[in-house]
Structure 1
């Protein structure tokens, strides 16, 4: 019983650690994700919100996979930690996103870093591509982080999915 209370306290503490800016970011991701259905009509706003929380702490960390020996356009960028190459891949697969092909790498990187909706839209299309081509949900979530089966990443996303569900229950996200 004491362990359950401790776990509940830690979980609730983590909920309150989410700032208003993070909530706004998560809501934008959710709103965008609802507009990008898979072939079966399903949308993935909960999963993409959990991925956002996993990848950038919902906007707290906008540059990932970056070190002095790598140029910025090769890093994972923005609230969804999308790489420029991924944005170009989506542009080649999704007609409504083809306009991205005319942008330079620096322009794409800038938009990923500064435009939550742009980052979320690319991520939503990318995740839908993964869902439409991979049979298992685990493989789609793992694929977002560059693998077929990535249990540590999948587990972090699933943990964050419980936080997203709690935020929804508490009417902090719609």
Structure 2
């Protein structure tokens, strides 16, 4: 059983990125379990002086979750052509740890317009030594209200696309 950790880079209650990672968790293929990380908003601002024995509990929980996962999935909105501060902060807590080194990672997208954030996030994660998977599932949810989002994510073609993307990511992980 592969254990995948899904992280939404959005803190919004009606986030399409959070809806996408939740749908990925619900539609995981056989042999995969996707757990959605929900602690992004509780993380303190990264401070290198607080590493080691001084690492805050919420940051330790994130580090442990990433370390224990076979791979991670990140879905992230774009704010001012960049990665939201909360997600960047979470990644900063991993920088000086081994949690990211060679850890398989897949980006997933809820908007076809987030091109700057995609490139920035991929660059950040490559720099941190994540092993980025080339397949990036995208389901266009931008501007949709929660009932529409739920309906789109439940469409058979999208369910199949999510399962196929996760199965391909699982193959990528197993081949390493």
* TM-score, shorter chain, exceeding 0.5: no
Between structures 1 and 2, the one with greater helix share: 1
TM-score by length of 2: 0.25
TM-score by length of 1: 0.26
Between structures 1 and 2, the one with greater strand share: 2
